[in-house]
């Protein structure tokens, strides 16, 4: 029953992840600079610290200054595909559940924040960057979990192999013991016959000695 329940849980988990789709949405969020236009996405199967570390690493490809306080702030970010001018990026990373993290980005173009309606081409560039990041981090997090689960699987498999080996050894021992019992039973049967024969030999020997003793006494 426990094994069946485990299989059901694993199947449900795999199927539910298969229904998870990476989407970039837009909206408004409050940052230290006020309520501004943002891009949002959900990272699956990763924890907040891992997402934050990976996002800072990505930002440092485009700029040299990344600060973390109530939010992640990247100053003078140069994304050439988007513009020859630098931008400032504000990011919040919020843990929704143990395996779901939301990333919210606000891009200051200098006088206006990036929005889908006002800056469609630039929005598309940053949307692609964010999408690729979320996909990569989600897959990376899953790969890490797979590696951990494979280690557990390997140990379980070794345990199972040892159990099978122990069973085989014990079965062989039982067969050896059974054969030993059969051999001993035969040996006991022969031993009993040998004892009877030996008793007869002893009695005959006693009779011989008595007879010889009588002969000795008869000589006068």
Residue 154, in any domain of the structure: no
Task: Evaluate whether residue 40 is within a structural domain.
Answer: yes
* pTM: predicted TM-score of the whole model, two decimal places: 0.71
- Split at pLDDT 50, 70, 90, the class of 13 is low
The mean per-residue pLDDT over the stretch 170-182 comes to: 94
pLDDT band at 12 (very low <50, low <70, confident <90, very high): very low
Exposure pattern of 93-110 as b/e (b: 16+ CB <10 Å)? bebeeebbbebbbbbbbe
Q: Does 161 fall in a domain?
A: no
Phi, psi angle pair for 76, to nearest 5° = 50, 60
In a domain, 141, yes or no: yes
Structure confidence by residue, pLDDT tens digits, 45-92: 999 999 999 999 999 999 989 999 889 999 999 999 999 999 999 999
Q: Is residue 220 part of a domain?
A: no
Residue 23 lies in a domain: yes
Position 10 scores a pLDDT of 53
Asked if 72 and 32 touch (Cβ cutoff 8 Å), the reply is: no
Residues 6+ apart with CB under 8 A from 135: 22
Beta bridge partners of 88: 108
Residue 69 located in a structural domain: yes
**Residue 96 maps to which CATH number?**
3.30.530
The whole-number pLDDT of residue 98 equals 79
In-domain check, residue 67 = yes
Q: Rounded to an integer, what distance in angstroms lies between the CA atom of residue 72 and that of residue 12?
A: 35
Strand 72-77 versus strand 100-108 pairing type: unpaired
What is the tally of structural domains in the chain? 1
For the stretch 86-137, pLDDT in tens is 999 999 999 988 789 999 999 999 989 999 999 999 999 999 999 999 999 9
Mean of all residue pLDDT scores within the chain: 90
As given in the structure block, the two tokens for residue 3 are 């094994």
- Domain range for 30 is 18-147
């Amino acid at each position: 029953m426990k094994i069946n329940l485990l299989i059901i849980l694993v199947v449900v988990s795999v199927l539910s992840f298969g229904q998870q789709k990476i989407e970039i949405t837009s909206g408004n969020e409050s940052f230290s600079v006020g309520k501004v236009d943002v891009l949002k996405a959900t990272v699956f199967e990763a924890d907040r610290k891992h997402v934050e570390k990976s996002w800072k690493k990505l930002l440092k490809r485009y700029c040299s200054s990344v600060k973390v306080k109530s939010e992640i702030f990247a100053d003078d970010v140069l994304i050439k595909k988007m513009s020859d001018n630098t931008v400032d990026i504000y990011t919040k990373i919020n843990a929704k559940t143990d395996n779901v993290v939301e990333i919210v980005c606000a891009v200051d173009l200098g006088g206006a924040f990036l929005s889908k309606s006002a800056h469609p081409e630039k929005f598309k560039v940053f949307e692609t960057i964010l999408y690729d990041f979320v996909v990569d981090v989600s897959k990376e997090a899953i790969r890490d979990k797979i590696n951990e689960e494979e280690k557990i699987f390997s140990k379980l498999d070794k345990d199972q192999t040892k159990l099978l080996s122990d069973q085989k050894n014990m079965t062989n021992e039982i067969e050896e013991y059974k054969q030993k019992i059969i051999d001993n039973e035969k040996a006991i049967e022969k031993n009993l016959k040998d004892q009877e024969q030996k008793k007869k030999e002893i009695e005959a020997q006693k009779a011989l000695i008595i007879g010889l003793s009588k002969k000795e006494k008869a000589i006068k």
